[in-house]
Structure 1
Amino acid sequence: MLEKMFNPNIVAVIGASRTKGKVGRAVLENLMQNSDLKIIPINPNVDEILGIPCYHNIMDVPDDQKADLAVIVVPARMVPTSVGECGKAGIKNIIVISAGFKEAGVEGARFERECVSLCDQYGMKMIGPNCLGIIDTASGLNASFAANMAYEGNIAMMSQSGAICTVTLDWAERIGVGFSKFISLGNKAVLAENDFLELFENDPSTAVIAAYLEGVKDGPQFIKIAQRVSKSKPIIIVKSGRTSVGSRAVSSHTGTLAGSDAAYNAAFKQAGIIRADSLEEMLDYSRAFSVCPLPEGRNIAIITNAGGLGILTADACYNSGLSIASFEEATVEKLREKLPPAANFYDPVDVLGDASADLYVHALDSVLEDINVNGIIVLLSPQSMTDVPGIAEKVAEKIKQSKKPILCNFAGGNRIAAGEEVLNSYGIPNYSSSERAVASMNALCNYQSIKNRKQDQPEIQDFDTKFARSFIDGAASQKRRTHGLESMDILKAYDIPVVDSRIAKTLPEAINAAEEIGYPVVMKIVSPDISHKTDVGGIRLNLKHADDVERAYNSMMSDVHRYMPDARIAGVQVQKMLSGGKEVIIGMNRDPQFGPLLMFGLGGTYVEFLKDVSFAVAPISADEAKHMVSSIKTYPLIAGVRGETPADINSIIDALMKISQLVMDFPEILEFEINPLMVMQDGEGCVAMDVRFTLDS
């Protein structure tokens, strides 16, 4: 689809300039680095630039010289005209480097919309506006105003920030890291991350995908594409804006906890994306993937010439979820053959401070053969007798031959610079700390799990959607957004068990309801204005007879009126008092990027304080529902600890999948929450005790 965008024969530069320092000049000079490329400068005021004949308008170019790609660098107000002229000239690929569009205000946003409309009209693909441009090392294309051409490599990089592009390119040039493609996304007016994920998927020169994103354009499609791509190529993304606060007020526990970053974490996990916490991490992980085979397990061997470094690395492995390998006895004996008696022959292997390159090689050979070792981290501290470049040379040769991943931390500064240069010459990263090496090894291990994961599809069940539709339409017709206990019937429509309950508008009705249900009972206030009933005294528990109901009713009304005098009271709900179960919460908050974001955690009144919750983007499969339940820290309390009978976990999974389908079926539900869902012992099911949902206004 984008073949000629990245491998054009003819490129037009609209806004090409003679003036040194102008973007139009920089783009032209970068394109001229490829001698096989025909370049057509466009400038209405000159006839040639840098010895290349110049046309005054793209429309003046003869048909037999029609460009495969046009790079536009004119002022923003002129860009829509240039885009339209490209369309009329039959050009299908354009890059708009110019800034001053939606990022600059109302007028710029109008210019951008005009460009999008013209691209739709003429069937053009556009990168940008407001971008650095693109680089393709396989074709030799540098259609950017970057200060340097990227080295050739197997990492494809896309970035929503032009500054991140220039920083990364400068870093890569210094240490010799190569890229297959380098794309500045800009405002993503037409082409966005989803288009390039698919491009990278089918690009034979790309083995690793890295990205800096500030947001995604089509969240559900992003997950779908990334799930497929990540099975064959690792995707490493650093996402900025982690602490942003949603602009829409939320009323539920789910809404309070489900910030934008929680949605990205859930989406990335489901999509098989490795999330980096910083640009540095993204680059660290990308380099590891670019040169290393994947480990078959999480057992790591450490080889060091300094005991302290080895201990720190072992600690970092443990904290990352990696295991320190237990060697076969044959490995220990082989290490003893050449290492000095004072060395440590168990993991971490300490070859001692005066170790030569040959001793490092012997240790590597011995450990690599051990079937219990899945990956190796090589550490070096520079002693006065340490042959740093010699050791680096030998280690690099072993890394290139190895079928197991080997990562290096040659620690220090000036004393290890020569060794680091040797490693870089082989394309091998040297991590400045053992923690960074461990984090990169952990990323390799995690991706092996991603490749091997099952990708189950969500099950679509047959529910009474007509009843649910009539109920939601009726709720919407009441001209209020939030609906509570009176909404239990919507759960029944999706076969979710609900507690036996009655709504009572008066005290006598409440007593009658309690008699019908049978004591003990619970009484809850019913009000469209009260989100958290406990906070205003709106719940009474364990009412055992009519006198309890009367006292509870009167005191509850008094408390609610004192705390919220203007709240509209629709009555009370009387429910059967249940005991012996575990309280959990199932919620949903509709994320603007990804859609329904499901939440699970321990329920009751403390969920916002504990914040021990998990998230997933609906629709979810049974495996994803299981992962939501098992990934909270307090999962052992549900699964049963110290001889306790486990809760009915399967009923939780079933309820999660049903809620997933409900919120997919009805996109007008913005927030949804069952709190608590009372989960009985294994095999006894679960019961919804309270529900609340918010409709789009």
Structure 2
Amino acid sequence: MKSTLEQHYLTSLFEPKSVAVIGASDREDSVGSVLFKNILESGFKGRLYPINQKHDTVQGQQAYKSIEEISARVDLAVIVTRAQTVPAIVEQCGRSGIKYVIIITAGFSEAGHSGAALERKTLEIARSYNVRVLGPNCLGIIRPALGLNATFLRVSANVGNLALVSQSGAICSAVLDWAKSNKVGFSSVISLGSTADVDFGEILDYLVYDNRTHYILLYIEGIRNSRRFMSALRSAARIKPIILLKAGRHAGGSAAVKVHSGMIAGSDIVFDAAVRRSGVVRVQNIGQLFYASKALASKFRPLGKRLAIITNGGGPGAMAADRAGDMDIPLAAISADTMKLLNAKMPSTWSRSNPIDIRGDATPERYRDAILAVTQDDGVDGILIMLSPQAMSKPMAVAQVVIEISEQTTKPILACWMGEDQVAEARIALENAGIPAFRMPETAVELYFHISTYYRNQTLLLQTPEGSSQRTQQETEGARMLIEAVLQEHRKVLSEMESKAVLRAFRIPVAQTMVARTPTESLLLAEQIGFPIAMKVDSPDLVRKTEAGGVRLNITNAPAVRNAYHDIIETVKKRHPTARIGGVSIEPYLARPNGRELMIGVVRDPTFGPIITFGAGGSEVEIFRDRAVALPPLNSFLAQDLIRSTHAAELLGEFRNMPAINMTALEEVLLNVSQMVCELPWLQELDINPLIVDEFGAIVADARIVIDYAATSGDRYSHMAIHPYPAHLIQNWEQPDGRTVVIRPIRPEDSDMEQEFVKNLSDESKYYRFMDTLRELTQAMLVRFTQIDYDREMALIATIPGEGGKDIQIGVARYVTNPDGETVEFALAIADDWQKHGVGRKLMSALIECARQKGYRAVVGDVLSQNTKMFRLMTTLGFSIHPHHEDPAVKRVVCPLHAQ
């Protein structure tokens, strides 16, 4: 079988052997003139064709009147003509067989309705000829190693291993200017413009393949396709570090983004949550972008956030501590043993706290003693060493001490040598040794925050929460039926009873609730439930019942029930005369002296779909605004991370003579809410407030659900930005000898098993699978094969139990989506001892069904012509066999997928 790591389909766009510039010009300072001159002067080795209707030559090069006059193959066309001419030019490119165009021209979707219509027309023409478009309204691309500068920038880029992908040409310009003076090089500079066609997702896919790219820098204004973006971002971040800068964090920035690119920036807190789940780090300015990339390149790796600060000046130490407080970086608590060491080595006037002020007369030896003491403290995750030049300071000697110790310890160290002339040489020495070194303490602390966050986010990336199993789906069928019934009644807001019924279907504990429509009925229900009770107005129009005067708590007797019923109805009618009132709900009054009131919510973000919110609850929820946000699906690790991200988390342990809550019960509610989000695409809003949690468990006191019709497709999780682990695909296959083969989607933790599986394949099996004689998978291949997104790709493995409870992999079948988005390409490998046992047929049948359920049109693959066993299997599975249009040593097999 063919390897899935072949050349990427966008290679001709970013590595063209021939380029045509349509609108190339001699007119000084015009875009066409500057861009064409840049390509000429950047040393491009391929063929270059200027297109200009009015001139025979452009900048000394033979010109052509039209792209259709060129008889040779052209890989890439760059268009710099007026917007109104672009559709016809794209059509000419399509007729000429050009598959990639870059549209530099502005005046499309960012220019209003007429521009948006022009953009739609351009894309329709491009798609009819299978032409891919980068832009419009973009700066172009730079590939320094290829000598290609197809931009109209006045600044070039040095060769390096950073790839910059930006929706803003101005940001590209600013970044390149900064990089030039700081001697930073690039593998690629790619300006996306309005991302009308080729978007972040596809470019990230390409950069993963690009061996010249080691780190990826992104500037983002808005996302068009969140699933594609998240899928590609998470996939790329597993292999290459990604640092991201996003505009539109506040209202003014969001408005500027819409004017510039015609895109909506979306909620920043939700975007932040998406970044956390993607294993990337987000920075706030261009300087941080490069500091972070340099730190990652130097292997600076804090595994926690507890920071120790060593300084020879109290003021600078306080500045660093303040910035750490701003960014929620805890200052490490110095242990008793470390304190003892410091007291023995430091002068009596040292600060005896963190920041560790070793005084202005600190010698290199004193720095050495302080640093060595702190590196042995298990409560310290990282160390910031600061030096301000004073009369007794020896900046270079102290730097040499830091460099020496950094080579002996695993603790990450960063430095801040304040000042300029007296410390410049020492700062350079630190940087050359791979130690991040800064002029100002705030910048150093910001870097520590960003890189420690990056490694935390990498752990979040590896989490693969499950969707529902077949058993869970059966249990929640009642919730689906209830939702469908409500929609048939043309209602979208569920009553409290209905909302709690849905929660109960997902095993979320709720307070029993019944609705009374008369005072007498309220008495009967109260007696049935038992005193004390709580009474609340039942109205689909009132979100905050307490503010509406519709809640009465701790009612202990029958007369009070009747009075409360009348009082609730009258108060609500007076305050909200148009509100619909269905009656009054009766439920037990949850008197829990140690209970904490929390809130769990679900809302729909226009870009990223459903998100889960968590924080402090109760009637003052809007005042405290304690909220943390997470993208579903969740598992226990992610649920704990969500809880820890709130101020409410500080109240959940032992607090004011109250015992700690039952944290397992709280996590279970969050996990079940996550299951709801996965399995109910109709869910638009969920408001659980309060959720009362104490040492005994959790119970929902009040809940409100809003639903709406949902678009259905072959993908049951199409409403989510992150595809959950598809647990419903797990199946057991009983063998005649009594052994059980488990067929299931692959997980990240299967990497060792996958590596062992490939190692044990015979040379022939390896060659048939990879068309190569590799001995084992590289780390990059291993990551790509085991850390998949389950959206655009699928890998099903077959395992059997081994010794010591470890599973053994005996086969794998996988597919990846082709560039057309309609077909998938498969690969199959079976352990030699298990060939001719039906494992290949079982895996392929399951894989084909996955592709069919996703709505793909066909499964295709390339098979070596001598692989007769594979051809026999393919024929029995319904594949047809065809000659390959490029390689006679390979045949293409195709299985059409028709809905069944």
**TM-score w.r.t. length of structure 2:** 0.68
1:289 aligns with 2:271: no
Report if aligned partners of 2:278, 2:457 keep a CA contact under 8 Å in 1.
Answer: no
Looking at structure 2, the residues matched to 502 and 230 of structure 1 have their Cα atoms a distance apart, in angstroms, of 50
Q: CA 1:177–1:60 in 2, change beyond 3 Å: closer, same or farther? A: same
Report if aligned partners of 1:288, 1:407 keep a CA contact under 8 Å in 2.
Answer: no
- Report the residue type matching 1:133 in the other structure: G
| 2:546 counterpart residue number | 534
- How far apart are residue 555 of structure 1 and its match? 1.2
Looking at structure 1, the residues matched to 107 and 629 of structure 2 have their Cα atoms a distance apart, in angstroms, of 38
- How far apart are residue 598 of structure 1 and its match? 0.7
Pairs within 5 Å for 1:14-163: 14-32=22-40, 33-63=42-72, 66-163=73-170
Once structures 1 and 2 are overlaid, which stretch shifts more, 79-88 or 225-234?
Answer: 225-234
Deviations 1:164-198 (A, max 9, x none): 11111111112222222212111001111122222
| 1:678 counterpart residue number | 692
| 2:811 counterpart residue number | none
Once structures 1 and 2 are overlaid, which stretch shifts more, 224-233 or 574-583?
Answer: 224-233
| 1:4 counterpart residue number | 12
Report if aligned partners of 2:683, 2:705 keep a CA contact under 8 Å in 1.
Answer: no
Q: What percentage of residue pairs aligned between the two structures are identical? A: 34
Report if aligned partners of 1:378, 1:406 keep a CA contact under 8 Å in 2.
Answer: yes
| 2:525 counterpart residue number | 513
Pairs within 5 Å for 1:623-662: 623-662=637-676
| 1:586 counterpart residue number | 600
Indicate which of 583, 607, 631 corresponds to 2:621. 607
- How far apart are residue 427 of structure 1 and its match? 9.3
Looking at structure 2, the residues matched to 178 and 325 of structure 1 have their Cα atoms a distance apart, in angstroms, of 41
Pairs within 5 Å for 1:268-307: 268-295=275-302, 306=313
Q: Give unmatched runs, 5+ long, in structure 2.
A: 1-7, 255-265, 711-900
Q: CA 1:36–1:625 in 2, change beyond 3 Å: closer, same or farther? A: same
- Report the residue type matching 2:22 in the other structure: I
- How far apart are residue 587 of structure 1 and its match? 0.9
SS of corresponding position for 1:534? coil
| 2:171 counterpart residue number | 164
- How far apart are residue 649 of structure 1 and its match? 2.6
Indicate which of 682, 688, 691 corresponds to 2:704. 691
| 2:464 counterpart residue number | 456
| 1:663 counterpart residue number | 677
- How far apart are residue 651 of structure 1 and its match? 2.5
- How far apart are residue 294 of structure 1 and its match? 2.4
SS of corresponding position for 1:523? strand
- How far apart are residue 627 of structure 1 and its match? 2.0
Report if aligned partners of 1:274, 1:443 keep a CA contact under 8 Å in 2.
Answer: yes
Looking at structure 2, the residues matched to 652 and 340 of structure 1 have their Cα atoms a distance apart, in angstroms, of 49
Once structures 1 and 2 are overlaid, which stretch shifts more, 414-423 or 507-516?
Answer: 414-423
Q: CA 1:280–1:694 in 2, change beyond 3 Å: closer, same or farther? A: farther
Report if aligned partners of 1:159, 1:185 keep a CA contact under 8 Å in 2.
Answer: yes
SS of corresponding position for 1:166? helix
- How far apart are residue 497 of structure 1 and its match? 2.7
Looking at structure 1, the residues matched to 371 and 252 of structure 2 have their Cα atoms a distance apart, in angstroms, of 52
Q: CA 1:182–1:322 in 2, change beyond 3 Å: closer, same or farther? A: farther
| 1:477 counterpart residue number | 488
- Report the residue type matching 1:193 in the other structure: F
Once structures 1 and 2 are overlaid, which stretch shifts more, 282-291 or 8-17?
Answer: 282-291
- Report the residue type matching 1:641 in the other structure: F
- Report the residue type matching 1:558 in the other structure: E
| 1:498 counterpart residue number | 510
Report if aligned partners of 1:496, 1:688 keep a CA contact under 8 Å in 2.
Answer: no
- Report the residue type matching 1:601 in the other structure: G
| 1:250 counterpart residue number | none
Report if aligned partners of 1:102, 1:112 keep a CA contact under 8 Å in 2.
Answer: yes
Deviations 1:128-180 (A, max 9, x none): 11111111223232111111111222222222111111111111112222222
Looking at structure 1, the residues matched to 381 and 551 of structure 2 have their Cα atoms a distance apart, in angstroms, of 56
SS of corresponding position for 2:172? helix
Looking at structure 1, the residues matched to 410 and 144 of structure 2 have their Cα atoms a distance apart, in angstroms, of 27
Indicate which of 533, 537, 547 corresponds to 2:559. 547
Looking at structure 1, the residues matched to 159 and 366 of structure 2 have their Cα atoms a distance apart, in angstroms, of 31
Report if aligned partners of 1:94, 1:127 keep a CA contact under 8 Å in 2.
Answer: yes
SS of corresponding position for 1:482? coil
Q: CA 1:82–1:546 in 2, change beyond 3 Å: closer, same or farther? A: same
- How far apart are residue 688 of structure 1 and its match? 4.5
Looking at structure 2, the residues matched to 203 and 380 of structure 1 have their Cα atoms a distance apart, in angstroms, of 41
- How far apart are residue 305 of structure 1 and its match? 5.9
Report if aligned partners of 1:244, 1:260 keep a CA contact under 8 Å in 2.
Answer: no
- How far apart are residue 74 of structure 1 and its match? 0.8
Indicate which of 558, 565, 588 corresponds to 2:577. 565
Deviations 1:563-597 (A, max 9, x none): 01121211111112221143322211111111111
Looking at structure 2, the residues matched to 342 and 557 of structure 1 have their Cα atoms a distance apart, in angstroms, of 70
SS of corresponding position for 1:323? coil
Looking at structure 2, the residues matched to 385 and 61 of structure 1 have their Cα atoms a distance apart, in angstroms, of 73
Report if aligned partners of 1:24, 1:73 keep a CA contact under 8 Å in 2.
Answer: yes
Q: CA 1:433–1:325 in 2, change beyond 3 Å: closer, same or farther? A: farther
Two-structure CA RMSD over aligned residues (Å) = 3.8
